[in-house]
Chains A and B, each alone.
Chain A
Amino acid sequence: MGYGVRVDVRGDFALFTRPEMKAERVSYDLITPSAARGVLEAIFWHPGLRWIIDEIRVLNPIKFTTVRRNEVGAKAKARVMWQAMVNGDRPPYIATPKDIMQRASLLLTDVHYVITAHFEMTSQAAASDNPGKFSEMFRRRLAKGQNYHQPYLGCREFPAQLCPCEEDVSLPIPEELRGEKDLGFMLYDMDYSDAAHIRPQFFRAVLRDGVLDLRGVEVFK
């Protein structure tokens, strides 16, 4: 565990969609471990490592707002694209009057988290890779504000501000988050071990004094 990292993450809006409410999106109360992993991976990732989220600390009260947007319901079809590619047809496009739908999203506003995580080496790591190197690369990028792409909170339109978090800072927890809060089942992450059948994993999220401890948490498939 010597190579743990602690990152301060904040943003004006966030949307960690509940999988059971995807048409009209509803956010979880706080960032999911998989979204937190995505934030870290935006800074640094390599096939030789796998991020594991240990703890999520919630520093701002949980607040929601709604936004309804005109969205497109259709996806680009690989088959149609393929035909256009092979036959030299003019590529198709999505016409918004036909495929448009209005969808509401329940967003979180003004979020602030401290994410504690560590990584494990995977079998993909090259011989010259070692945890110290990866850890240094991550820290350096975080300190300099470098990233692979701008990290975001659930959806790309909600960018995250990241900065290093000093190890021993005692952070104030909002009054309403004191005590124990059972948030029910929450998405832990997707299980990518079988590429043909990617499966979601869930866990029982319990927030204790604003802290979601994920160490040794029981994961259900």
Chain B
Amino acid sequence: MAEPIKNRYDFEIIFDVENGNPNGDPDAGNMPRIDQETGLGLVTDVCLKRKIRNYVEAAKEDAPGYRIYVKDHVPLERNNREAYKYLGVDEKKIKEVKKKDADIDRKIRDFMCENFYDIRAFGAVMTTFVNAKLNCGQVRGPVQLDFARSVEPILAQEIGISRVTVSSEKEQEEGKHMMLGHKFIVPYGLYIAHGYISANLARKVTGFSEEDLALLWQAVINMFENDHSATRGSMAVRKLIVFKHESELGNAPAYQLFERIKVEKKDPEKPARAYSDYTVTVDDTDLPAGVTCIQMI
């Protein structure tokens, strides 16, 4: 397995939606999520993680070490025999290990981390053989995401649509030929999400490596490219700004770094309808010592 990452990273993802619903709220009939107090649109952390998982699954097609644990699909066969590089010479030894081995949870944890990309990145909760070990079987991954929030209050618009099919045969017999439906769209919304990557958790827990990191950036940049659907409209990641710290512990508070990124609307009078209605500036002059700013896109 490749070496774990050695630097802390904080990153900001700026993405937008045009005539689509970035993340429906199950509590509000699938309307776009809105912070009721401020009117700002929300996209949950888990929504973005799903996109990252889907991208990795599409890009790696279940290659060894890059499987995805939390899948979007129906389970396939579980007993597809396959030799694991991981086991190698040690296979016999592992067989000999008794179930009461105090270290068994750690071995299983390592096995999971080595096989599944999403566990290496985000962690997982697992039942354990030995009680009260490994903090109840919790694997904390190094990558942490927060809720994305829109820059300005969003307008959730309900669009009435008609469809030329009916739900039941009875309706067909009654002579109905079409029905009305509805969908929600946000005409335009620019959203910001923050992410944090702990090198300590990568080194001590999951072994998240430089290659994994490169794949993560690729996944973030392309997370909407493989996620087009009727509801999403057109979504795109506009900017991925990464602050790389020289040390494992980091060299500056994350929020101070994020404050260097300014998103402003060009014409405050006019409602924004395109990314070109905003300007994004990153102040990367005199960054704190040991911090470098990388604009991935």
Q: Which residues of A contact B (CB under 8 A)?
A: 12-13, 63, 65-72, 75-79, 81-82, 84-98, 102, 104, 109, 141, 144-150, 152, 156-159, 161-163, 195-198
Contact = CB atoms under 8 A, between A and B. Distances in A.
Contacts of A198: 132
B263 interface: no
Contacts of A63: 37
Nearest to B202: A149
A146 B87 CA distance: 37
Contacts of B8: 147
Contacts of A89: 78-82
A157 B129 contact: no
Nearest to A85: B111
Given A146-B249, A148-B249, A150-B254, 16 more contacts: A65-B36, A68-B25, A75-B125, A78-B127, A79-B129, A82-B108, A89-B82, A90-B79, A91-B115, A94-B70, A97-B74, A141-B249, A146-B251, A148-B200, A163-B253, A196-B132
Given A79-B129, A81-B126, A91 B112 contact: yes
A148 B220 CA distance: 24
Contacts of A94: 69-71
Contacts of A85: 84, 86-87, 94, 107-108, 111
Contacts of B107: 85
Interface stretch (B12-20, B137-145, B155-163, B171-179): B137-145
B293 to A, nearest CB: 15
A144 B250 CA distance: 8
A162 B255 CA distance: 9
A82 B73 CA distance: 23
A90 B82 contact: yes
Given A88-B84, A89-B80, A109-B37, A78 B251 contact: no
Given A78-B137, A145-B256, A159-B146, A150 B71 contact: no
Contacts of B67: 91, 93
B127 A76 contact: yes
Contacts of B72: 95-97
B126 A157 contact: no
Interface string B90-119: 010011000000001101100110011000
Contacts of B46: 69-71, 157
Nearest to B77: A90
B129 A78 contact: yes
A159 B254 contact: yes
Contacts of A79: 127, 129
Given A145-B250, A145-B252, A157-B146, A86 B94 contact: yes
Contacts, number: 181
Given A88-B81, A144-B252, A161-B253, A149 B70 contact: no
20 contacts: A12-B146, A65-B36, A67-B42, A69-B26, A85-B87, A85-B94, A89-B80, A93-B67, A93-B68, A93-B70, A94-B69, A94-B71, A97-B72, A104-B27, A146-B251, A150-B10, A152-B144, A156-B140, A196-B132, A197-B132
Contacts of B87: 85, 88
B124 A76 contact: yes
Contact of A68 (B26, B35, B86, B247): B26
B111 to A, nearest CB: 5
A68 B27 contact: yes
B82 A93 contact: no
Contacts of B196: 149-150, 159
A141 B249 CA distance: 8
The 10 nearest A-B residue pairs measured at CB: A145-B253, A149-B198, A150-B196, A146-B249, A76-B126, A157-B45, A68-B27, A90-B80, A161-B255, A95-B75
Given A65-B35, A150-B198, A81 B111 contact: yes
Contacts of A71: 46
A181 to B, nearest CB: 22
Nearest to B149: A12
A72 B252 CA distance: 35
B58 to A, nearest CB: 15
Nearest to B255: A161
Contacts of A82: 104, 108, 129
B180 interface: no
A145 to B, nearest CB: 3
Contact of A88 (B10, B83, B250, B253): B83
B147 interface: yes
